[in-house]
Amino acid sequence: MILLDGKKTSSDIKDEIKVAVIAMKERGEKVPHLAAVLVGSDGASLTYVGSKVRACEFVGFDSTLVELPDTTSEEELLNTIKV
């Protein structure tokens, strides 16, 4: 049986991505960009999205977080996404 260390594997992968992003920036290439739209203030969702934004910062990706109130209509949400 092989025991895998998920945290170490994740860290190793993030380190590899970070090196690749640095090389992309040095070549003048565009780097990946995560855009997240969060509707409402669900604690679990805030935690999840926050961890993704921090991961982007670590590896050098750009990120944008758009937070909308829980009263946002479907039409308002779709208009936000279209921009």
Domain boundaries, the chain: 6-82
Question: Residue 70 has what DSSP assignment?
Answer: T
The closest alpha carbon to 64, from 82, 48, 49, belongs to 49
pLDDT tens string, the chain, 83 residues long: the values are 888 999 999 999 999 999 999 999 999 999 999 999 999 999 999 999 999 999 999 999 999 999 999 999 999 999 999 86
- The DSSP code sequence of 9-41 is HHHHHHHHHHHHHHHHHHTTPPPPEEEEEEES-
Determine whether domain 6-82 maps to CATH 3.40.50.10860: yes
